[in-house]
Amino acid sequence: MNRRSKQKRNDDDPDQWYFAAAGRWSSVRWSQSLFKRHLSIVHRDTTRHPEDVFLSGAAGFQIDDAWSVICEEYSSEVVGCLRKMRVPGQEPYDLWAQALERLLKESTSFPVADFVEHSECVLPPTKIVEFEGRASLKSYLILIAQNIGRDHLKRKEVEIEQTDVAVVAHQKTGVGEKSELNEVELKQVQFLLRDGFSCLTKNEKCVLKSIGLLGMSNLEVSAMQGYSASTATRYRQSAIKTMNRKLKQGFERSGEFDDRVMETALSYFQRILQSLSEDAST
Amino acid sequence: MKNEHESPFEQQAREALVGALLGDAQAMPVSDEDLAVVAEHGMKSLSEADRERVLNAMVLNTNGAAGTVDVFRQLQNETKEVVIDEASIVETENHQKRFDLVSGSLTGLWTLAACLALFLSIGVFDQTTTSKLPLKNELNISDLETDQEKILGQILMDIKESMEAHSDSGAGSWESKRMWLAGSVLMMAIIPPALWIYRRKRK
């Protein structure tokens, strides 16, 4: 992490923040009164990166020098991160440009009326003005650019899936493949799984969702949620245990499943849940 | 979790499980900044309600929120790299300290040993010289025959007596040499470590 971007809130004096930011980016000329007004709107109490709020605010009010600083300071870092995700047909610089384009759009939620008396605010503020400084500007820019890249990937995946479905439908030509579970059984399984999941505590649900749906490892979950690694493991294991128990009880109670389906289903879910814990431990 | 070679049953089961995990997740609005906060600081800084809202947005990929996990990973890796860099610097410094300590001690010991050897040899040599001097009863002047021999004998006896007198006064005795030797050794034992500590402090 760029050490320079770590800005600590040693004191809550907006004047000091202003002078620190103005000193750091001397080319960006933005008035102190506007900065303070801007801070009061973006919830000064929650701001962790006031210098970044200065830069984003100035850029939001379309000061060209602020945009130059953003491009100079952050483009290499953002593009570096974007290189790690390969998006077909999109170069990292394209995604960075699209992120800037998104931030240059006119802001719809910012209270422009509060700035009417300031003669400097001639142009309508752009979307970057909504940045509140709760995260660093660098992370904010990386995230926006990554999300744009992800959107492109998702669109590509949908295109491929649609093509695959069409090919498979064409190949099958009406020969319906028999599923192991009939409609009633499938609904029953879905119900049992939902029932099992609803019995979990909030933390257990959160861990299972993060591992099962977001593909996070145990360590990542613990880092993101602020648990210790052992706590995350405990939540995961108890969640899996509860789900298993509920499933087994449900199968035995319903009596609608023949032994073969029940056995296959249990072993399969056991395998999936086990693979979750294996993924988590890596 | 997704497996391309799964059977229709496995596919059904997987979808059922995903459906269960999604549970009652509802798509709720989430801002880019909320996601950036999660990517940078995790969910620790969010309230309970916000945690659920952001997690649901991530699993449902609202506003491209699933990408937050990637950014979180990247930022975590960068932090780890910085931590590793700092750890390696600390390790190098510790290694240097250990090296200095060992080399300083060895230098001190070496100097000490060399000085000890030197002064011991001087002392032994000195003692040997003294022991070679004629002893009291080895020379009897009355036994000498010629006058020249008697005169020479008398001169030798005078020299011996004067040396013994000098030795009795303590100035050249073996005990005084030992004291002097001990003092020198002590000085040599103190000076190199003191110089070494001074050099370390100046760094």
Residue corresponding to tokens 């405990």 = A234
- In this predicted model, what pLDDT tens digit does every residue of A67-123 receive, in sequence order? 999 998 899 988 888 888 788 888 888 889 999 998 988 887 777 666 666 666 667
* Contact: A178, B8; criterion CB under 8 Å: yes
- In this predicted model, what pLDDT tens digit does every residue of A121-136 receive, in sequence order? 667 788 898 888 888 9
* Contact: A193, B32; criterion CB under 8 Å: no
Q: Could you count the other beta carbons within 10 Å of the beta carbon of residue B77?
A: 12
What's the confidence (pLDDT) of residue A141? 92
* Contact: B12, A268; criterion CB under 8 Å: no
* Contact: B1, A215; criterion CB under 8 Å: yes
Distance CA B72, CA B70 (A): 5
B57 touches A at CB < 8 Å: no
Q: Could you count the other beta carbons within 10 Å of the beta carbon of residue A126?
A: 21
- Closest residue, chain A, to B74 (C-alpha): A81
Beta pairing partners, A106: A126
Q: How far is B191 from chain A (nearest CA, A)?
A: 44
* Contact: A213, B18; criterion CB under 8 Å: yes
Q: Is the dihedral of CA A7, A10, A13, A19 positive or negative?
A: negative
Q: How far is B96 from chain A (nearest CA, A)?
A: 26
- In this predicted model, what pLDDT tens digit does every residue of A132-181 receive, in sequence order? 888 899 999 999 998 888 888 878 777 776 666 555 554 443 333 445 66
Distances in Å between the Cα of B62 and the Cα atoms of A49, A143, A271 are 26, 14, 29
Interface of B with A in 80-119 (CB under 8 A): 82
- Closest residue, chain A, to B63 (C-alpha): A147
Residue A53 in contact with residue A22, Cβ under 8 Å?
A: no
* Contact: B71, A224; criterion CB under 8 Å: no
Taking chain B (203 residues) in consecutive chunks of 10 residues, what is each chunk's mean pLDDT? 63 79 78 87 84 86 81 80 69 78 77 71 54 53 71 78 64 62 71 75 67
* Contact: A140, B32; criterion CB under 8 Å: yes
Q: Could you count the other beta carbons within 10 Å of the beta carbon of residue B107?
A: 14
What's the confidence (pLDDT) of residue A177? 43
Q: How far is A213 from chain B (nearest CA, A)?
A: 6
What residues in B contact A181, CB-CB < 8 Å?
A: 9, 12
* Contact: A193, B20; criterion CB under 8 Å: yes
What residues in A contact B1, CB-CB < 8 Å?
A: 212, 215, 272, 275-276
